Amino acid sequence: RTIRVASHEEIVPSKFEGNYISTTKYNAFTFFPLSLFEQFKRIANIYFLITAILQSVPEISPLHPFSAIAPLIFVLAVSMIREGFEDYLRYRSDKEINATPTTVYWESSFKQTRADQIVVGDLVY
């Protein structure tokens, strides 16, 4: 195996992944559908959804559909808010780790850089 210590210009950027860390599960566009999908992986939520659907048919149930839909929506909303908050905390942690100051030997001197800007070939001190 050959290890080259190179300047940033000599490294082909598309060949190697960056050093950026991301542990978040969602982004602004995928949060709602993915979080909803995660909620319906739970059998209890599927049960309450089926119950709400059946209660919305007047020939089957004398109860108002709201009596089954409201608790389901409440549970889903609370769970999604919790998921969103946990993902936000992961985002903040990632941002802090990526911004960690790191010393790199580059072009005959030591240079201060962020952890997410380290590339293949950098000598980290």
Total structural domains in the chain?
A: 1
42 domain residue, yes or no: yes
Q: pLDDT at position 6, please?
A: 58
Residue 68 burial (C-beta neighbours within 10 Å; 0-12, 13-18, 19+): buried
- Of residues 36 and 119, the one with the higher pLDDT is 36
Show the domain range for 93: 25-99
95 domain residue, yes or no: yes
116 domain residue, yes or no: no
7 domain residue, yes or no: no
- Is the pLDDT reported for residue 68 higher than 90? no
72 domain residue, yes or no: yes
11 domain residue, yes or no: no
- Is the pLDDT reported for residue 36 higher than 60? yes
Q: pLDDT at position 50, please?
A: 93
Q: 9: pLDDT confidence band, cut at 50, 70 and 90?
A: low
DSSP label at residue 99: T
109 domain residue, yes or no: no
Q: 106: pLDDT confidence band, cut at 50, 70 and 90?
A: confident
Among candidate residues 30, 33, 36, 31, the one with its CA nearest the CA of residue 49: 36
Residue pair 80/39 in contact (Cβ under 8 Å)? The answer is yes
Residue pair 111/103 in contact (Cβ under 8 Å)? The answer is yes
